[in-house]
Structure 1
Amino acid sequence: MMDREKTIGETLVDGLAARDVTCVFGIPGVHTVELYRGLAASGIRHVTPRHEQGAGFMADGYARVSGKPGVAFVITGPGLTNTLTPMAQARADSVPMLVISGVNAQASLGQGMGHLHELPDQQGLAQTVALTSQHVAKPTDLNSALNKAFSPFAEGRPGPTHIQIPLDVAGSAAAELATPTRVAQPAVEAALVQQAAQLLATAKNPLILAGGGARRAGEALRLLAERLNAPVVQTTNGRGLMYQHPLGVPASPSLASVRGLIAGADVVLALGTEFGPTDYDMYATGAWPQMRQLIRVDICEKQLERHPARLPIRAEVGGFAAALLAALPSNCSGVDGAPRAAETRAAALAEIGEDYRAQVAVLDAVRDAIPNSLMVGDSTQPIYAGNLYYDHDRPGGWFNAATGYGALGYGIPAAIGAAIAAPEAPVICIVGDGGAQFSLPEIMTAVDENLSITFVIWNNQGYREIATSMQEVGVEVIGCDPTPPRFCDTARCFGIPHLAVSDDPAEISAAMARSAGQGPRIVEIAAPVFAAAKS
């Protein structure tokens, strides 16, 4: 029985547990020792990455799959700066993430005295990417800091938040833990639902755009599409919502064929999609998909202000979709939804070209060999191809860092976070040989945690996508041929299986199906090498 007051670190752990945090990712350091006090006895799982960037990306993957905030513990200075890249990725993709760091003693802040891990303004640096950054100046600030850090996860578009606790405060006695503040999502306005229903009920060629904000509303989305007889275009983070459905269009709205479908719609219902260029104008044409009557539903008021709509509605997608279904008549006017969708699917697949179609065939083989998987990607050719056109078989099961902020090195640690969030689900990580070298040591975390992840390495011995881009604009290819390690030897050093295959889909499918679900392993695909990158 404790006969002393709890410290800030112990109360922090209690506060996290009270907010349903069950896992944290972090690397302890001398500046965070006190934050770890009480963690071992709390029941909260601690996962140790090999780099703080890995901690942030693991928290990201965990959050996307679990729906709960991913939490990272990092040290003062370099720990925080190493985590800024994952925080920026999380902000771009609306992923709830809390980074808790130490900071030097308050009297030293901004003084430039040469203390260990000193930054001129650590909080100011965090604020460049965090939705909110809280400084715990005294013990009584902790409850407020936790409430403010968790608030954005519930009341609007989520993203990364930050709390820093100074060395001279971390070990002090804490104030009593208060009950967490609960923030409710904004209620769906009935009048706006009725207006949307009136527009959609009489539409002849309605269309739905489904983004990442709809990923947890799959059943309501399907019913809504069927009621309206409306094709559903799914952005990168919306894939898997309409798998093999006649109304599904698992293709990028940057493609001309998909833009044509959108332009032909008399009413467009956009659900939880940012309208970001990496989804809607990835070719940087400066042109935007043409939309006539746009009904836009988003949880973020600022997002609604950025693109004009006939009817902007601030709401959580699942609640809105359910309310809209109840308001729509059973006999809506939409026609030819399935033929329009089928025509667009065929045209989009033809449009992406032979090389990308071959890589989509690889993705299809991987998916079919291990159904219902979480497929986590890095910036690599099969992922680029899949973001243009690929139909996944699990809602929320296809995500990567090749859109938005576009951080390379994301795939391996994010897949680890995903596997921890859903231990029952098979996890497939698809990375290139170049991107794998950004975060290869993190595979040892999967070994430590005995996670069933298949790390698929697309090995074309270089940065082929960049080399192609340089060549296309007449720049001599340079810097695109970093020599990859012998991944078979890497796997042996990690103590995990390694399978080497060609890029033939049948061979890949057989390799993926073999020994699946038995801890981490590497499947290395010998992809075509871009000659210019090696010349």
Structure 2
Amino acid sequence: MPRAEHSTGEALVGLLESYGVDTIFGIPGVHNVEMYRALPRSQIKHVLVRHEQGAGFMADGYARATGKPGVCFTITGPGLTNIMTPLGQSWSDSSSVLCISSALDIADSAQGRGRLHEMQSQLGAAQTITDLAVRAYTPQDVRDGVARAFSAFASRRPRPAYLELPLDLLKLPSGSGWTTHKTPKLPQAAADQIKEAAELLGKAKSPVVLLGGGALGAGSAALAIAEKLGAPILTTTAGKGAVPGDHPLCLGYRLASPSGRKLLREADAILCAGSELAETDFWETGFLLGKGLIRIDLDPMVLAKPHGADIAILADAATALEAISASLPAGDHSARRKATEKRIADILAAEPGTDDKLREMLRQVLSVIRESLPRETVIASDMTQIAYAANEIFPVYEPRSWLHPVGFGTLGFALPAGIGAKFGCPDKPVAVMIGDYGIQYTINELGTAAEHKLPLVILMWNNDALGQIRDDMVNKGIQPNAVTLVNPDFQALAKAYRCHAEKPDSLKALGQAIARALKADGPTLIEMTPRMLG
């Protein structure tokens, strides 16, 4: 433990290590070097990123892939504003990220004296995109702030936390008491609600199971319920992989498609676990679930909006679903299960027949990608047409293996998030699915991936345009404008960063390029274009 004569900045690192932090993403700067003094003596790995935005997205990707909090260091002023976009994404998508920033001196903060990196309210800015924002004034405030963050991570809906440390505080003697606090447990469902939910499901003629990102650790229990009831399983984008995407009862993410909505409209009981059922799940503000809705969530506010629940259970999804599964009344639903499996298979078989030309093309490309990547591959995707299609038609087989920026919808997420996922899961293959425009938001993080020789498979869809925006303009009767661009030579640019680069000219060549990238001694940028399909 830190000695009393150690500085608060040094003691902070020891405390984070005591809470199990093994990786920190960040950039040392003139205003936060005291946070770096003890890092060489610790067991924590620090990853030097190329931009604070990269640090935030990497911490988010680490958190999503591992289920553990991702931690990042930043500096006053522009360091915080640069990392606010990633914090907004982790807020929107329920990801546990701890951002620790320096701040101006306690005695000379926001006085308008022209201090370096001065903001009127740095804490106020952080409060807009975090669940917990704390400005420390004493060493005890630092200890308490870290304890509060990890307490929230352990027991509440995952969301980012922010801890602000003034420059003069970082240098103060730490004092004693730098020990971890016991964290609370996740809330457990009331027995009467479990019984009520099980009875409602047992009587249902058309039950549906709907899983969100909060149910990624509850897949076994959810699958047991679905198999007992013969019920179809739908997921949100964040819930992809909660159950294997190739299970015969799993339709996956189809909440925005006619087939998925039809299942929900016809259901007389919907068991929804770990989802706020947001606009970005349905892509329609007026779609509301009706009678027979059972909701399980860690956030009491989610349970109250926008869909009214017959049974609202404030609880951890895994334990609640396990209890419901054990309480289901006996009954033979084998005929219903057989009929449901056929219905799911028929829906999936019919889908290609409704494809437009773009979806038909992307389906072929995604099929090759899926066949070429191991089942356990963690894939970080971006806001790009190929990922929008993949949200629906790309099967994912394991939890925490599909990382997509759903709610905030920022560009540039995928590359740094994939890097963070690889640091968190070094033994798993990691791929990135991104567009030619989005990659340019954070392409500098190729340097981070190359420096650490991470064998990332970077699948970049290049249509030399903001393709989705162009298509939206056309659909709305707007003459396309400001949607085409002159791209760099991505092959040369990747090699300049000391990455491998390939540009396959066919689908067969794409599969071969992926196979080589999985075995490479560093990242590989695979530039995919519509010309691959001839």
Superposition TM-score, scaled by structure 1 size = 0.94
Q: 1:202 aligned to 2:203?
A: yes
Counterpart of 2:22 in structure 1 is 22
Q: 1:510 aligned to 2:512?
A: yes
Counterpart of 1:212 in structure 2 is 213
Counterpart of 2:402 in structure 1 is 398
Counterpart of 1:292 in structure 2 is 291
Counterpart of 2:265 in structure 1 is 263
Instruction: Return the offset for 1:352.
Output: 5.0
Cα contact 1:352–1:388 (8 A) shared by 2: no
* From 256, 279, 290, the counterpart of 1:254: 256
The separation in 1 between residues aligned to 2:139 and 2:255, in whole angstroms, is 50
Instruction: Return the offset for 1:238.
Output: 1.4
The separation in 2 between residues aligned to 1:128 and 1:460, in whole angstroms, is 35
> Any idea what SS the aligned residue of 1:469 has?
helix
Q: 1:157 aligned to 2:161?
A: no
* From 412, 417, 439, the counterpart of 1:414: 417
Instruction: Return the offset for 1:410.
Output: 0.5
Q: 1:495 aligned to 2:520?
A: no
One-letter amino acid of the counterpart of residue 252, structure 2: P
Q: 1:382 aligned to 2:386?
A: yes
Counterpart of 1:273 in structure 2 is 275
Pick closer, same or farther for the CA change 1:487–1:481 going to 2, 3 Å.
same
Counterpart of 2:107 in structure 1 is 107
Q: Deviations over 1:215-252 (max 9, x none)?
A: 12222222221111110012111112232111010232
Counterpart of 1:423 in structure 2 is 426
The separation in 2 between residues aligned to 1:350 and 1:144, in whole angstroms, is 58
> Any idea what SS the aligned residue of 2:46 has?
strand
Pick closer, same or farther for the CA change 1:491–1:132 going to 2, 3 Å.
same
Instruction: Return the offset for 1:354.
Output: 3.8
Q: 1:477 aligned to 2:480?
A: yes
Q: CA RMSD of the aligned region, Å?
A: 1.8
Q: Deviations over 1:33-63 (max 9, x none)?
A: 1111211111001001100000000000000
Instruction: Return the offset for 1:486.
Output: 0.6
> Any idea what SS the aligned residue of 2:391 has?
helix
Q: Deviations over 1:65-108 (max 9, x none)?
A: 11111101001100011010000000000000000000011222
The separation in 2 between residues aligned to 1:396 and 1:465, in whole angstroms, is 26
Instruction: Return the offset for 1:376.
Output: 0.8
The aligned runs of 1:35-50 (5 Å cut-off) are: 35-50=35-50
The separation in 2 between residues aligned to 1:324 and 1:446, in whole angstroms, is 44
The aligned runs of 1:53-132 (5 Å cut-off) are: 53-132=53-132
Counterpart of 2:175 in structure 1 is 175
Counterpart of 1:343 in structure 2 is 346
Instruction: Return the offset for 1:511.
Output: 1.9
Instruction: Return the offset for 1:202.
Output: 1.9
Q: Deviations over 1:406-439 (max 9, x none)?
A: 0101111000000011111111101111011111
Counterpart of 1:532 in structure 2 is none
The separation in 2 between residues aligned to 1:3 and 1:393, in whole angstroms, is 48
Cα contact 2:502–2:526 (8 A) shared by 1: yes
The separation in 2 between residues aligned to 1:249 and 1:98, in whole angstroms, is 34
Instruction: Return the offset for 1:2.
Output: 8.6
Cα contact 1:378–1:435 (8 A) shared by 2: yes
Instruction: Return the offset for 1:478.
Output: 1.8
Cα contact 2:517–2:524 (8 A) shared by 1: no
Q: 1:305 aligned to 2:304?
A: yes
The separation in 1 between residues aligned to 2:213 and 2:515, in whole angstroms, is 29
Pick closer, same or farther for the CA change 1:2–1:314 going to 2, 3 Å.
closer
Pick closer, same or farther for the CA change 1:316–1:353 going to 2, 3 Å.
farther
Pick closer, same or farther for the CA change 1:452–1:182 going to 2, 3 Å.
same
Cα contact 1:201–1:333 (8 A) shared by 2: no
Instruction: Return the offset for 1:147.
Output: 1.4
Cα contact 2:446–2:499 (8 A) shared by 1: no
Q: 1:358 aligned to 2:361?
A: yes
Instruction: Return the offset for 1:298.
Output: 0.8
> Any idea what SS the aligned residue of 1:324 has?
helix
> Any idea what SS the aligned residue of 1:238 has?
coil
> Any idea what SS the aligned residue of 1:437 has?
helix
One-letter amino acid of the counterpart of residue 401, structure 2: G
The separation in 1 between residues aligned to 2:303 and 2:507, in whole angstroms, is 42
One-letter amino acid of the counterpart of residue 362, structure 1: V
The separation in 2 between residues aligned to 1:31 and 1:110, in whole angstroms, is 15
One-letter amino acid of the counterpart of residue 461, structure 1: D
The separation in 1 between residues aligned to 2:9 and 2:371, in whole angstroms, is 46
Pick closer, same or farther for the CA change 1:470–1:217 going to 2, 3 Å.
same
One-letter amino acid of the counterpart of residue 355, structure 1: L
> Any idea what SS the aligned residue of 1:236 has?
coil
Counterpart of 2:237 in structure 1 is 236
Q: 1:373 aligned to 2:374?
A: no
Cα contact 2:416–2:445 (8 A) shared by 1: yes
The separation in 1 between residues aligned to 2:235 and 2:508, in whole angstroms, is 27
> Any idea what SS the aligned residue of 1:362 has?
helix
One-letter amino acid of the counterpart of residue 509, structure 2: E
Instruction: Return the offset for 1:4.
Output: 6.2
One-letter amino acid of the counterpart of residue 411, structure 2: L
Counterpart of 2:222 in structure 1 is 221
Cα contact 1:55–1:413 (8 A) shared by 2: yes
Gaps (5+ residues) in structure 1? 530-535
Cα contact 2:25–2:48 (8 A) shared by 1: yes
Between the two proteins, what is the percent identity of the paired residues? 36
The separation in 2 between residues aligned to 1:24 and 1:478, in whole angstroms, is 41
